[in-house]
Amino acid sequence: MRGTVRIGTLAGIPLELHFTWAIIFALLSWSLATGYFPQAVPDLPTGSYWSKGVLAALLLFASILAHELGHALVARREGVQTRRIVLFAFGGVAELKAEPPGPGAEFRIAVAGPVVSIGLVVFFGILTGALAVRPGAAAVAAYLAMLNGIVVLFNLIPAFPLDGGRILRAALWRFWGDLPRATRAAAGAGRFFAYFLIVTGIFGMLAGHAAGALWRVFIGLFLLMAAQSAAASVWLKDALSGLHVRDLMTAEPVAVPAHIPVAEAIRDYFLRYGYGGFPVERAGRVVGLLELAQVKAVPPEERDQVSVQAVALPVEAPVRTAPGADAMEALQQMLQAGHGRLLVFEGETFRGLLTHTGVTRLIQIKMALGI
């Protein structure tokens, strides 16, 4: 997920905020301060409403974070690490590094979030009663109890990738013994529910209920993209299962000499071979990676004077992998680093080049052959 900023770690798991979080946080705080709390607790100062609105919005996102942390901690216990937890406009997501090892693990990971949210409903419900003598504080607790309840009910809808959809996938996985098939079926349910939200939202807008209906459309579109992305991700992992970088890399690729000017690299390499990037070689050793992004960064009038070595990416972790590395992890490394290829080294010996195009070509062949 692009457009995120890292704000720290929690239980050793990177925590990130998507830029849409700030937008929704501001809108939610405003809505609570000007609408919900003035109705729930009349005759308070405006500043009090705003403090309650901001506090409730913060605690709601903290509740969502606790929900996702529940998934992540149970996943860790099942042997699956979490890449990161991201909070965004429509809630949060704990991105796992791998699929659960079995349907039982999938079920336990999926139900962990709703269990945490149910615990929060109980906690804030009790807190509402305990704060009865302080109506303003009780209103904040009541709001959080209500919203966590909505989070539970919404997430338990059997539509992948919602928690209910993951529970459905776990059941189908147990029944069929086939994760890709179970994922396709659960994602199909997710798409159906997404289209339902979109269609009802459109009719709602036509009927004059613009605000709530528009939210249904937005949530439906998000779920539709998420269901399709999750299904594609599982299929991709299945297609690359058991493969390593050495199985997909190009051995002895064409290399660009480090000393030549960028203009010559464009003319004799990029235009001649039609590739999007090349290893950079100096004195028989690969010392970097040159891609179109680095070439484009050099002004046209300077390309005759600037050498390839001056702009090439150094041989470091973001563009480097090993022959025995997992193919799926290498592909994710490429995507996260924003590069279309990785230099493959065994120790300090250059072995080849792994390209996004090469991985895509293998997947296309598998699709064509139905394997």
Confidence band for 290, pLDDT divided at 50, 70 and 90: very high
Number of residues that make up the chain: 371
What's the pLDDT at 73? Answer: 97
What's the pLDDT at 370? Answer: 64
For the chain, helix, strand, coil in percent to 5 are 60, 15, 20
Contact 261, 307 (CB under 8 A): yes
Top-ranked range on mean pLDDT: pick from 89-98, 213-222, 281-290:
281-290
Confidence band for 2, pLDDT divided at 50, 70 and 90: low
Q: How many whole angstroms separate alpha carbon 261 and alpha carbon 269?
A: 12
Q: Tell me the whole-structure pTM to 2 decimals.
A: 0.76
Q: In three state form, how does the secondary structure of 288-318 look?
A: EEEEHHHHHCCCHHHCCCCEHHHHCEECCHH
What's the pLDDT at 367? Answer: 66
User: Which of 304, 302, 258, 303 minimizes the C-alpha distance to 282?
Assistant: 258
Residue labelled with tokens 């928690």: 163
Contacts (Cβ under 8 Å, ≥6 apart) of 364? none
> 291 catalytic, yes or no?
no
362 or 301, which is more confident? 301
Q: How many whole angstroms separate alpha carbon 14 and alpha carbon 19?
A: 16
Domains annotated for the chain, with CATH where assigned, are: 4-156 (no CATH), 245-369 (3.10.580.10)
Terminal Cα-to-Cα distance of the chain (whole angstroms): 29
Q: Out of 68, 106, 281, 291, which one is annotated catalytic?
A: 68
